[in-house]
Structure formats: C-alpha cells, structure tokens
Amino acid sequence: MFRRLQLLILGAILVVAAFSSGWQFLFYLVYLGVLVVGGSYVLTRLGLADLEAGYAVNQLSGHVGDRIRVTYTLRNTSRVPKPWLEIRNPTSLPAGLPGRAISLGGRTERSWLIRTPLTRRGHFRIEPLQIRTGDPFGFFESSASVGSGINVTVYPRLEPLPVWRLPAASLEGSHASPERPLQTTPLATTVRPYAPGDSMNRIHWKSTARHGDIQVKEFDLEQTADAWILLDLERRAQLGTGDESTVEVAVRVAAAVADKALLENRAVGMTVNAHRVAQLQPDRGGRQHLKVMQLLAAVDGDGASPIDEALVATVQRIRRGMTAVLITASLDRAWVKPLATLRSRGVACVVVTMDVPAFERRLLEEAHRAAGFLAADTPVPAPTTEPQWRALRHALAEFDIPVFRVGPTEPISQALAS
C-alpha cells in the first residue's frame, strides 16, 4: 500500500511537471509510466486466471518419527504463461511445509512432493493452500486461497518392548500354564488324535475329514490379563524440556506399554492425571489402541492434583485380576500405600519411575554449558533429588513392588528389560 501511494504521488508530480513545462521528455516518461504500471496491473490480474491448484496429504495421523507426504499440483489451462507464482501452506507443524516459487507456461502442469517429518506429538493444523503472484516491479500483487484446512494428529513414538512382560496377576488365566487344562477355553492351540474320555464338543471336524481319523482340539489357559495404566503428569513433578523431558519420556513409556499389552490381546484401561483426570475404560483391539494414542497425543504435564488422589479415584475401577502399571516422575511417597493396597485385592502392581536425578543432572549440565563453564576442572553441582529418589525406591521395596527406572536418553526397551 505504501509503495502504491509513492507511485501515485510520483505520477501526479510527473504529470503536473510535463503539462506545466511542456517538455517532450517528460511526456515520454508519463507515457512510459502509464505503459509500465498498466501492464503490471494487467499481468497481476491475469496471474491467477485459468489456474487450477490443489494439494493432497497421504495421512491425517502418524507417530513421532514418521513422515507425511504432501503432493501439490498446479495446472495452467490458458495459453497465457504464468511467469511467477508463490505457493505455500501455512501450518503449525514443527517442521513446517516449505513453500516454492515456480513459473508455468501456457497449458502446462507441474506437480511435486514434499516429505515432512513429524517431530512432536500433538494436534496440528494445515491451513488452505495460499497462492500469490505479482508484477516484476512489485507494484501490485494478487493472492488466492485454495481448498480447506485439515487437522493432523501426531501420536507418541512407539518403541517395541521385546523382553519386558507385565507381571501376572492373581487370577487363573493370567499366565501360561505348563499343564493341559481339562476345561474348554477360548484358546485352542493344536489338535491331536482322539483318546477315550474326550468330549464330543472337542472334535475338530475339518481335521478329522482331512486325516481320516477323529481329531480333537487341545486348549490352553488364556494367557492374557487386563492392564490398567496410570500416567502421572502432575506439573510439580516434571523436569526438563523438549523430547528429553519427564513428560515426553513418561508418555512414550505409556504408549509402549499400552501397545505391548494390546498386541498380547490384553484389555487396557488408562488414567491420565493431566489438566483434568481422564480415564479410558478397559477394552482391547484396534479401536482401543486408537483411543489410547489420541489421548496420549493431547496430554501435557499440567496436572494440578497429585497422583495419589487420582489413584484413590481409580481404585474402584481396577478389578481383581488386573495389572496396574503406574508411570510417574513424582518423588512423593504418599502414593505408595494406596498402590500397595491393590495387591490385597488381587491386583498386580508395577511402577515405572523416571530417573529424576538423571534428568536433573542433565539440566544442570546444560545450564552449566550455557553459562560458559566449559572447562574440564569446573565441577557440575550434584543433583538435589538423589536422597528423595532413594527413599522412594526403599518404600516401594518394603511392599515388594517391582520398579523400573527410565532415564532421559536410555532406550525404553533397555530400561524396562533391566
């Protein structure tokens, strides 16, 4: 707008000077200015005419570490070329979507693919496609918005846990049995020849027809028990920033444990002590997996109530035979006794605690480095949370509750296997 005002004032001065002085050179400048400005205006107005554009996203959700692909297509349906087009997609994705400036000839089409990494979990927005053009002198510009915005959900990174197993609860069927059961269970493992005393409802008719003699089904005790994950995101207990904070590590642990349990055909319930206490009722299968990931994608370390209150509110929902997995960075021992009372109700308990001294030590090292103390003889202050963390581990050991510790950089699969 300021440039247009300058152009208008300059043109008015030039016209007044030409008519007042009568110099032919000034009239040439007036004619040239009218030609340049008029041509720039027409070029800008035609810059987006007869132009077709669009973009397509290959997926609307993914996990941290994945890449989404965005395909752009521009088509010029007229014979007039488009010398300059700027295309960009405003987005809240951390990695962004790079724009591009291109030119299009008459009746031509261009397409290109952008792969952008998903670096942080959460809910993000990709705004409509913005196309802008103008004249070479920058006098005028024209823009258009194409399509509608879309939402992209980024789930936490999933890390496989090949070694770690949930402890078996005090319930028949919660772990594998070396003896063959006499009762019929939903888990049919193999077939064998008929033996005297086998029930008729155990006959497997397809195998009988194939082998020519009677084959009966062998059953095993169900190897799954339900799991309830309690994720503590109280604000006061969190340390660190970014991907190596206690919040992000705890969310990744919860995602890995839930994924492991669902793959084992366990029913998984969840309580998250975030800005508000959110609960998911136990269920199994892909639908529950999606619910868990959507919940973990949205939470943050802004919980106001301590984990012992959330634990007391959840106790009534954890039934006998379930396995309770508490994931926390809290050093307060007030939640140890409420958790231990679950064992008397036939609920197995396991605690995954953040290695708070390791997180604090890392923060101290980063602050030390930022302050310029890079000399090798300058000591880094010792973490102040070490005594509290040891006291918490002793309190858990008194009730014989298994505890795993996870640090800021250690792989989760390695931490839960130790």
Does 160 map to a domain?
no
Question: For the CA atoms of the chain, what is the radius of gyration?
Answer: 33
In this prediction, residue 196 has a pLDDT band, given cuts at 50, 70 and 90, of: confident
In this prediction, what percent of the chain has a pLDDT beyond 70? 86
Q: What is the mean pLDDT of residues 11-25?
A: 72
In this structure, the chain runs to a length of 418
Phi, psi of 170 (to 5 degrees): -80, 65
Do 39 and 104 sit in the same domain of this protein? no
Do 21 and 87 sit in the same domain of this protein? no
Q: Does residue 174 surpass a pLDDT of 50?
A: no
Q: What is the mean pLDDT of residues 365-377?
A: 64
Collect all residues with Cβ–Cβ distance below 8 Å to 270 and sequence separation of at least 6: 228, 229, 230, 231, 254, 258, 278, 279, 280, 292, 295
pLDDT in the model for residue 179 = 47
Q: Does residue 180 surpass a pLDDT of 70?
A: no
pLDDT in the model for residue 178 = 47
Nearest to 238 by CA among 363, 121, 418, 128: 363
Do 78 and 25 sit in the same domain of this protein? no
Residue 163 · residue 220 · CB < 8 Å: no
Q: Give the strand pairing for 150-155 and 141-146.
A: unpaired
Do 39 and 97 sit in the same domain of this protein? no
Residue with more model confidence, 284 or 379:
284
Do 56 and 31 sit in the same domain of this protein? no
Indicate the number of domains in the chain. Answer: 4
Q: What is the mean pLDDT of residues 230-245?
A: 89
Lowest mean pLDDT among 228-242, 301-315, 371-385: 371-385
Q: Does residue 310 surpass a pLDDT of 50?
A: yes
Residue with more model confidence, 382 or 302:
302
Phi, psi of 270 (to 5 degrees): -150, 140
Does 163 map to a domain?
no
pLDDT tens readout for residues 117-163: 999 999 999 999 999 998 877 777 888 999 889 999 999 999 999 88
Do 308 and 410 sit in the same domain of this protein? yes
pLDDT in the model for residue 169 = 53
Q: Give the strand pairing for 129-134 and 141-146.
A: antiparallel
Q: What is the mean pLDDT of residues 91-105?
A: 91
Average pLDDT, the chain: 84
Number of neighbours of residue 193 by Cβ within 10 angstroms: 12
In this prediction, residue 176 has a pLDDT band, given cuts at 50, 70 and 90, of: very low
CATH number of the domain encompassing residue 58: 2.60.40.10
Do 237 and 316 sit in the same domain of this protein? yes
pLDDT in the model for residue 189 = 62
Residue range of the domain that includes 21:
2-46
Q: Does residue 102 surpass a pLDDT of 80?
A: yes
pLDDT in the model for residue 246 = 93
Do 116 and 258 sit in the same domain of this protein? no
pLDDT in the model for residue 38 = 76
Do 275 and 314 sit in the same domain of this protein? yes
Q: What is the mean pLDDT of residues 323-335?
A: 92
Does 164 map to a domain?
no
Q: Got the DSSP string for 218-254?
A: EEE------EEEEEE-BGGG----GGGSHHHHHHHHH
Does 178 map to a domain?
no
Do 372 and 411 sit in the same domain of this protein? yes
Q: Give the strand pairing for 268-273 and 277-283.
A: antiparallel
pLDDT in the model for residue 69 = 95
pLDDT in the model for residue 379 = 66
pLDDT in the model for residue 173 = 46
User: For the range 362-367, what are the long-range contacts, defined as Cβ-Cβ under 8 Å and sequence gap of 24 or more?
Assistant: 362/240, 362/244, 362/408, 362/409, 363/239, 363/240
In this prediction, residue 291 has a pLDDT band, given cuts at 50, 70 and 90, of: very high
